[in-house]
Each structure stands twice: as C-alpha cells, then as structure tokens.
Amino acid sequence: MRPWCSRLSCWRSAELSLPSPQDIQAQVRLALAEDLGTGDRTAALIPADARSRVRVVCREAAVVCGVAWFAEVFRQLDPGIVIDWFFRDGELIDADRLVCELNGNTRALLSGERTALNYLQTLSGTATLARQYADAVAGTGVRILDTRKTVPGLRLQQKYAVTCGGCHNHRIGLFDAVLIKENHIKAAGSVTAAVKRAQALASDIEIEVEVESLAELEEALAAGARRILLDNFTPELLRRAVKRADGQARLEASGGVSLETIREIAEAGVDDISVGALTKDVRAIDLSMRFIDL
C-alpha cells in the first residue's frame, strides 16, 4: 500500500478520503484469505452453477459505512455478482431498512457473506458512534478527533469511517506527525528538552506535546509548542488552560471523555477533543443477509 503521509498533511488540512481501489483490493484480499483458507467446504455443498438473490437489512438506526469493502469482497469472489445499493457511505438509515440487494452465484454469495458483513457492520458502527459524538458538540466549533486506538489491520478503514460520521482524523500513524507523550518526556528529561529536540528533528511536520498540569502547560508554551494536548484536565482546569494559552497554541483535550462529559469539555473553550472510544469501543451494527426467492 502507498504511504499515506505522501498524500496527507498532519492533523488534516484534508480528511482521510476513501482509500484507492488498489488499497481496498489488498485489504479485502487479506480478509478473504483469513476466512477462506484453502476453500469454503460448506458452500461446496451447493451446485456450482446455482444462482441466488439476497437482501441485506439493517436492524437498527445507523450511519452506513463500508460500501466499497463490502462490494470488493464479492467482486473478488465473482465479478458477475450484481449489487444494487439503496444507501451510500455517510447516510443515515432507519431500523429495518434495506441496505442493498445482491444477485449472482450462490456459492460466492455464501462464501463472501461473513467477510462482507464484517466490514459493513464494523465500519458502520464506527461511523454511527462518530455521529453521536459530533452531534454532542454541535454548535461549539470544537473538532472531535480519533486516535491510534484502532482494531489491528483496520486503521485506515476506521479512520475513514470516523469522517463519514462527521468527526475528524488525528495523525494516521507514527510516521506523519510528532506527538510527545508522558513517556517521551520522561525519556527526554523534560517537556522543554523534548519539544526543542522535536523542533530540531521534525521541523517539516506538526509537533504536539502532552501536558498533565498547568505548570507543564507553562513550560510547553515557553518552549514554543504550538499544539498542546491537555491530558485528563478537569473542565475547570481546561478553562484556566484556555485562558492562559490565549491563542498561543492549539489546545486539545483528552482523557475522561464520554458522550456524557464531552459537551462540558467542549464548552471549556478547547479547540479539539480526542476520543479513543470512536475506534476502540466500537459496537458492530446489527445487519442481516437473507436469501430470497429468484
């Protein structure tokens, strides 16, 4: 796959768009290999030339995401399978609505069912949760950011789903930005030492430093930090931090964030709030794929 840092600047002047067809093909190829192995022994019970029509229904209200991966699963198994879509990525769907219909080779439909639904239900779950967080801070001007707490192997897919839900991308990985955290600071010796070293080594990309107190905030500002993560600050401390920074740095709140607390955090005046739950605590959307008469 292409390195994403070649196309994206740090902390997103442009959000992560749908990966290229080549990237999606590679991702799906690995997912199918994991499930099929040497072949689908159960689908082999069905005559090789049998054809079927199936429907995918969403059993709960959701934000749809994962259409391209779902379709690619069946394209790789049998390019002759036809899919009629009734919703696109980013669109809201009510409970018990038809997502799509498929028509084609029965064996291929059976073999691809689980992998295709895994993509669609997981990415729709990520997008749906992101929409809930985005709605919770509507009108505040605060950006909700994802993190690197993603399902292994689904980093790019989940970060794309976050944008479909109306939230925003933090760094994609360790390669496209510097985020100086607690352990980096301890290893470097101080906030000042870590920031100065980063400025010397990584002047071409954005640098962010995590602080855990107002004293560390002062040190970070004095060191010239222009992006600061306020870790586990209470709403009162967030307000004091915003007042002290006074526009000198972009401030991001992190830690202790939930749907119940995020509005108060946003109203403290920070610029961004990062939420690991967007991709870490995702619950798959309830989808079902059922065969119907031709």
Give the residue numbers annotated as catalytic, written as ranges. 114, 149, 181, 210, 231
Residue type, 219: E
Cross-strand partners of 257: none
Query: Residues 58, 90, 154, 59: what is their CA dihedral angle, to the nearest 10 degrees?
Result: -10
How far is residue 163 CA from its own chain's centroid? 7
Query: Residues 76, 78, 80, 81: what is their CA dihedral angle, to the nearest 10 degrees?
Result: -90
Going from the C-alpha of 150 to that of each of 18, 37, 70, 173, 213, the distances in angstroms are 17, 25, 20, 11, 27
Query: Residues 4, 6, 8, 11: what is their CA dihedral angle, to the nearest 10 degrees?
Result: 80
Going from the C-alpha of 232 to that of each of 148, 178, 213, the distances in angstroms are 18, 20, 9
214-222 and 235-245 helices, crossing angle to 10°: 20
**Distance, CA of 112 to CA of 163 (rounded, Å):** 26
- 3 state DSSP class of 207: strand
Q: What secondary structure does DSSP assign to 88-102, as a single string?
A: -TT-EE-TTEEEEEE
